[in-house]
Structure 1
């Protein structure tokens, strides 16, 4: 039997003026649009337009990009540069992050999340593989997980040992982060060094989220979106329903960092996942950031709180992947 770990949420106080303005703006602009979609979903909504429109977002400096093809989807490999040249080595001194984007399994992609993924990579001193996994409604969540597994295997084949890999994701990508780790266990593959989940969706059943006060205060995600997402996911799954990570066997998962805003709809998912990880004996850190919007880390260029959060992610990744006997200064 695993030894349960006590999980005490770490509340990070202070929402500055910029954070409050962002939350208010999102509540007045983005949330109503999402609510309309949730009430009247259909094929006419241009789900792919968001990622297409973000194709010109500039990556951070200090990395070299290579577009690659996994078994059933595209991916991008962003390699750290040492000095003026790309780091092309595959020694165990390297660290890689497998990053899984959010978007409700329906939208976003490699372009929308490029800057966030690379900012986390820079803070972690790691190269990054971002996966453009197959999405609803044409593909099931199980197929999304299969694509994430392909990304993990790609890193292994490149020469990264599991203890030098971290899986990270936001929102639906947080769901896939945990689902991928559980799939690794099912296939007898070694776990990565750690998992990082930003505002993660961990339970497709919206009941608990809709019953809690936090969801009513969420500046981004309306109730209608959760109900519609659960319905679409159920149709795509067919006869084999997706098991939410929060209901899986979490025993043996690596250390986990979860960051979530205190008024988010998905705060409930983050809290429950942390509790169940702790009960399974998994070391978990749950950071609750005061009144921050969903995946606020993406606004690190303008929000001091987001920049601090990314820095903390980087420190967590570096600590989890540190080689034995190697000090942080040597990294």
Structure 2
């Protein structure tokens, strides 16, 4: 019942606003206002914060086991713990460290892991390739701090799920080792909106209107210039680490999650696709009020612990 009320509320409030943006993207939209307004959200207790500067963007390091108010050095000791590289969603254009802090740290707590969240560069000023480069920079930061790849899991939601897969695909080309696992929450995996718009799930989605997908594809194409971004579903997936995908049964990106799981399986990659009945896009962020979301986060924690302990 809580999930139904939550989905209905989102459908009546957030979805119409997104639809207006999708139809009139040329208007002046304060994309950074959402993350700015979320700066007062309180982080999970029992975790110490350390500001990080990567090559071209900022990041936050939340050290598991260090209480708020205590100094966090940002230094890892080889083999001493688990790290999650978390990549926030927001359509490559909005949200940031503040909006996704609670979700990222909740996943970290469930996984008994420290978390590095990356404030990657975004559209339309930068390309998705720039976003991926920033995510790789975060991965290198963890390696430089002594975290071995078998103790690192890359996770992200929505557009951050796209970046999770794109980052893993880019590592091979750079000669960097793969992480222990990948976690994608309601991931966007295909910039082409055709399949999503043709399926019934998209019409039932409480959050994402079709206009947003069409506009996002157009903006991403302009930012890419002469080098189009390759969607993860079209990448060479062989050799990726085990993957956990969670998605709601009636959301727009269900098609992307399903297709990605199918192609991962065909490439020989161990993958678990969890379809949560009638849950909204990135419902895990509402773990404080939705029992299903709390269980989903617990499942993520189990997956991460199994990957680094197995």
TM-score range, shorter chain: over 0.9
From 287, 293, 306, give the equivalent of 2:293.
306
188 and 38 in structure 1: CA distance in 2 versus 1, 3 angstrom threshold:
same
176 and 89 in structure 1: CA distance in 2 versus 1, 3 angstrom threshold:
closer
Tell me what 2:274 maps to.
Answer: 287
Q: 3-state DSSP class of the match of 2:190? A: coil
Q: Would you say 1:218 and 2:202 are equivalent positions?
A: no
Shift in Å at residue 188 of structure 1?
Answer: 1.3
Q: Does the 8 Å contact 2:246/2:276 carry over to 1?
A: yes
Q: 3-state DSSP class of the match of 1:77? A: strand
Cα deviations across residues 2-44 of structure 1 (Å, max 9, x unaligned)?
A: xxxxxxxxxxxxxxx1100000000011000000000000251
Tell me what 2:21 maps to.
Answer: 37
Q: 2: distance between equivalents of 1:89 and 1:206? A: 41
Tell me what 1:64 maps to.
Answer: 48
Q: Would you say 1:203 and 2:187 are equivalent positions?
A: no
Tell me what 1:167 maps to.
Answer: 154
Shift in Å at residue 124 of structure 1?
Answer: 0.1
Q: Would you say 1:193 and 2:177 are equivalent positions?
A: no
Structure 2 gap ranges (5+): none
Shift in Å at residue 90 of structure 1?
Answer: 1.1
TM-score with structure 1 length normalisation? 0.91
Cα deviations across residues 233-279 of structure 1 (Å, max 9, x unaligned)?
A: 00000000000000000000000000000000000000000000000
Tell me what 2:2 maps to.
Answer: 18
Q: Would you say 1:148 and 2:135 are equivalent positions?
A: yes
CA RMSD of aligned residues (A): 1.2
Pick 1 or 2: higher relative contact order, CA cutoff 8 A, min separation 6. Answer: 1
**Which residues of 2 match residues 1-331 of structure 1 at below 5 A?**
17-42=1-26, 44-81=28-65, 89-322=76-309
Structure 1 gap ranges (5+): 1-16, 324-331
Runs of 4 or more consecutive aligned structure 1 residues displaced over 4 Å after TM superposition: 82-89
Q: 3-state DSSP class of the match of 1:249? A: coil
Q: 3-state DSSP class of the match of 1:288? A: strand
Cα deviations across residues 150-205 of structure 1 (Å, max 9, x unaligned)?
A: 00000000000000000000000000000000000111110000000000000000
Cα deviations across residues 36-58 of structure 1 (Å, max 9, x unaligned)?
A: 00000025111000000000100
Q: Does the 8 Å contact 2:161/2:186 carry over to 1?
A: yes
Shift in Å at residue 307 of structure 1?
Answer: 0.2
Shift in Å at residue 287 of structure 1?
Answer: 0.1
